[in-house]
Amino acid sequence: MKYVYILRSLGDDLHHYVGVTADLRARLEKHNKGEVFHTAKYRPWELKTYIAFSDEAQAFQFEKYLKTASGRAFAKKRL
């Protein structure tokens, strides 16, 4: 399984991060330890939502969509 996830910064509610992983717990731990360059500055993080995909290509396609303007609007309204 691949998980597309959205994190919300607890430091300031303005920052969100979208990613894909096979191990959600381990990935969140890396984000909160500062081991991910793009998220280290805005720690700590909480998991806002995640969606599981059995098809890896579909997971990466959905992650890419969530990083677009219409995808961000969709996530803000629906997720």
pLDDT value at position 20?
Answer: 98
Q: What residue ranges do the domains of the chain occupy?
A: 2-57+64-78
The rounded distance, in Å, linking the Cα atoms of 9 and 18 is: 12
Q: Say what angle helices 69-78 and 56-66 make with each other, to 10 degrees.
A: 90
Three-state secondary structure call for residue 28: helix
At 33 the pLDDT is 97
What is the rounded distance in angstroms from the CA atom of residue 3 to the CA atom of residue 10? 21
Q: Give the pairing type, strands 45-53 and 2-9.
A: antiparallel
pLDDT-derived band at 61, boundaries 50, 70, 90: very high
pLDDT level of residue 51 (50, 70, 90 thresholds): very high
